[in-house]
Structure formats: C-alpha cells, structure tokens
Amino acid sequence: MTENPADSNPLMTGRNQSLFPQACTIVIFGGAGDLSRRKLIPALYNLALDGLLPTQFAVIGFAIDEMSDDAFRDFAREGIERFSRRELSEEDWLDFAEHLFYQQGEFSEASAYATLRMRLDEIEPRFGISGNRLYYLAIPPSLIDTCVFGLRDAGLVAPPDQDLPFTRLVVEKPIGRDLPSALAVNQSLQSCFAEHQLYRIDHYLGKETVQNILAMRFGNSIFEPLWNSKYIDHVQITVAEAEGVGTRAGYFETAGALRDMVQNHILQLLSLVAMEPPWSMRADVIRDRRLDLLQCLRPLRIDEVERHVVRAQYSSGFFHGKNAPGYRRENGVAADSTTETFVALRLFIDNWRWAGVPIYIRTGKAMPKRVSEVAVQFKAVPHMLFNTDTDHPLEPNVLALRIQPDEGLSLRIGSKLPGPKVKIYPVKMDFRYGSTFGDQSPEAYERLLLDVMAGDATLFMRDDAVEASWNWIQPILDAWEASGERWLPEYPAGSWGPIEADRLIDADGCAWRQL
C-alpha cells in the first residue's frame, strides 16, 4: 500500500488532482450486512491493492450482530473471495486485515454510540489517524434518522465549519419514497450535518461509462456541436434486468420500478447526457448543471400521465431455459399487488438545446438480458442522393453508450457496399473498454469510496437534486394512486415489455432499439 495514488491510475483520471484520499476511519453501519460483504469491503480491498488507500486507515463494521474482530475479518475475506474483481492475495490480505475491526451495538441505544466512540479513540492512534471519520449508512432507510441523531448526540459529528478532522456521511438510496418523505429525510440529515458533509450515493454515477459521458461530450469537438434539437431526433435510455425480484420482493413491493430505477439512477444518468457544458470540473459546478437539467424537465399534469407513462408487471414465461413465475406468484409478493416491475416514459426537456426532442425511457425486470444503454438517434438525411427511396429509407445514425455489460460506445453510420452499384449499408464503429484498455474497469463503489475519502462530491447527489427529481416523479405517483387500478398490463417474463410500451413510442414514429 502506498500513501499517494499514482496519477496514471484510471480511478484518478479526470478528478481534481489536488484531491487525494485522506487518512480516516471508515465506519460501516450495517457492516455485517450484504452490501458490506458484496460491495464495500471488496471495493476497499481493491483500492488497497491499487495503492490508492492511504496507509493510515481503519475500517470498523458496526451492526447489531454479535461478532468478534476475527469473525468480522473472516466475513470480509469470504466477501472478497466471492465478489472482488481482483483475486485475494494472501500477503496483501494479511496487510489489509490488520485494519479491520468490528463493534456490536443497537442503533437505537445511546450506549452503543458511546462504546463506538471509545473504540474509535482506541483504534485511531494505532494508525496515526487524527479523527477523520467517514460513516457509511448501509442500512434500511427507516434507520437513517436513528443513526444520524445517535451520531450527533454522542458527539461523533465534527462541527460543520471545521476542515480537519472531518466528518462525512454516506447515505444510500432511496432518499424517501415520495417528495414529502424525501424532504423529511433531507431535513433530518441537515439537522445533524452540513450539506458539504453529506454524500448521497448513487452507484450508477460511479460506473466508468457513465463518467465517460462528460469526456465523450466535452472532450471531442465532433459531438458537442451536434448535441441539440437541430441534429438529434430522439434519445432512448434502457435499463433492463434479466432477473425477477428474487429475494428482494420485500423491498421491491414497497418501491417498484419507478422509485427503484427512474427517480435516481435514470434521471441522474439523463442529467449527465443532457446537461449544459460546465465552466469547471469543480464538484458544485457539475452538480449545478445537473440540477439545471432536472429543473428543465417538462412537468406532467396528473391528467397527462396516462399518455406519457406505461407501467406493467411480468407474467409467467419460459425464461433462460426454465419456466418463470409471474410477479404476483413470487414469494413475498401480494396476490393482488399493483407494484410495477416495468415502466416506460416519454418526457421532454424544456430548454433551448433540447426543445421538442422526445426522451424515451424504459426499465424493467425479467427482461431478455441485463443491459443498460443510452442511445442518441440523429435526424435522417434529406430524401435525395442516397436516401431517395421513401419506402426503404436509410437507417439513421445512432450513437450508443453502453453502461453495462461490454462497457463502451458504438456509432452507426452509412457506408457504400463494395461493387458497381451505389448501395448504402449501415456499419458500426465500436469501442469497448475491455478490448482497448485490457484491464477490467474498477467497480463503481471503488471510485465513489475513493471520492468520499478525498472530499470530492462531484458524483454524489445534492439535496436540491434529490428534491427536484422527486418533484418531477410525484405527479406520476399521484396519478397512479388516484386511478385505483387493480390489474396492470402484463408482459411475459423474458420479453422486452408490454405492447403498451411499443404503442407509446410508435405513436411518434419511432421504435425501441433491439438490444
């Protein structure tokens, strides 16, 4: 492990080079849980292997489970062996494990926070940590208030006007389940922490190809001049999951696809795709531009929702070589559930750049494959020269940004087929991270944890952005509640969604991309 990260490391590319991870203690609330085992601890281990963690760090798992330090290290090792993108190295593991500790405690008991404080005071001097602390809330949303008030009352939050030692709090989605509850969560957070101490995490923003959107747009002069309503016909965003709800039925029944995917992941992705050029790479400048975009989304009136939004549930089907049950037959799902597993939307951005350009969004579970893509379709060339046959027009140019899997981008253009006749055929220019750069891209949580330790909030959601996205989503929720629908349209498991979604985009003379 080294103290200063190498400038050549991909995780450092594009960041403010004056920001480096600082010595700190990372306290994972819910440290014995699934997120800690699958994502957080493997991410920290990979950062250590890459020499990006400071030598002065400690990790404390804090949860209600009874567990010793050694048992927590065994738990962490098992998670690394199963879920890390890098294989476990015995020598590196022994070095890393020395920094792992565990503290048992009930989140609702003041004595647990007093004990945590004593444990921090005991561990930090061993590693020369001067009180910098990062609290990661890997817990259900219902416990956020309990934990932030517990930290505040125990004196574990540094004053907001104090630079060092710092206190930073990472909060996982969802931030609320509607606009009023999101406002309440933000109010609770801000009663204990200043906004600059808060890092609302959306792991989608940490994905390499999502970060590459800004580089593609503003680092290449061939794209930005065309990035407007004069040249772009429409934009499609697809986030498809191959699995059904599985073991997450309890959570998903209270959320649904709109809350789970659109309100956070997809609207944040759209804000990067469509925002105005920032004048600096500073965190608040980028976040201001993203907020501007969210505030330009054309509001939907309740009576307009049915024309612009489609929701559906997957039904039984033959999927991945076996019969799959419908959503209402999944364990933990109510037999009369009206929770949507699929949603498709048509929206507009009311500003000069995007005036009149439709944005089509679809996301769902139990679809043919796992894929996330942003596709920008350019306007057709005039019906002359190579595009004279109106019955068989040329295929349009499409720039497709693949978020997962096979991260990269492709550009579809028309090219003349070899031979004496002039015949135009669509060809694809393709770039893939794996084949071009060789190494596997870092996991999203690696980048995001590194940024929190460095104090770089660029890829995190600010309170006003969370509230702006819920403000746009709220009329859809209100319309659905007012409708009183007892049965939603269905689509067979393993298909691309209901016929109603096709009709939504067909009405504008467009079609969903075949992925």
Enumerate the active-site residues.
Answer: 265
User: Which amino acid is located at 270 in the chain?
Assistant: L
What is the per-residue burial (b if ≥16 Cβ within 10 Å, else e) of 437-475?
eeeebbbbbbbbbbbbbbbbbbbbbbbbbbbbbbbbbbb
Q: Known binder of ligand: residue 203?
A: yes
The kind and range of the H/E element at 500 are helix 499-506
Structure tokens at 155: 């004196």
The kind and range of the H/E element at 335 are none
Q: Known binder of ligand: residue 322?
A: no
Nearest in space to 371 (alpha carbons), one of 497, 515, 266: 515
Structure tokens at 472: 């746009």
Between helix 463-483 and helix 179-192 the angle, nearest 10°, is 150
What HEC string does 113-168 produce? HHHHHHHHHHHHHHHCCCCCEEEEECCCHHHHHHHHHHHHHCCCCCCCCCCCCCEE
Whether residue 180 is preceded by a cis peptide bond, meaning omega within 30 degrees of 0, is no
In the block, tokens 């890393």 appear at 96
The kind and range of the H/E element at 70 are helix 69-83
Q: Known binder of ligand: residue 173?
A: yes
DSSP-assigned letter for residue 264 = I
Q: Known binder of ligand: residue 230?
A: no
CA 492 to centroid of chain Cα atoms: 27
In the block, tokens 């125990």 appear at 154
Q: Are 359 and 232 in contact (CB under 8 A)?
A: no
Q: Are 13 and 451 in contact (CB under 8 A)?
A: no
Pairing of the two strands 309-315 and 342-348: antiparallel
Nearest in space to 107 (alpha carbons), one of 72, 135, 127, 129: 135
User: Which amino acid is located at 360 in the chain?
Assistant: Y
In the block, tokens 């292997």 appear at 49
Pairing of the two strands 358-364 and 232-240: parallel
Q: Are 355 and 232 in contact (CB under 8 A)?
A: no
Q: Known binder of ligand: residue 428?
A: no
Structure tokens at 34: 């699934």
Q: Known binder of ligand: residue 391?
A: no
Distance CA 342, CA 324 (A): 16
Q: Known binder of ligand: residue 62?
A: no
Q: Known binder of ligand: residue 365?
A: yes
Binding residues for substrate: 203, 207, 241, 260, 365
Binding residues for NADP(+): 106-107, 173
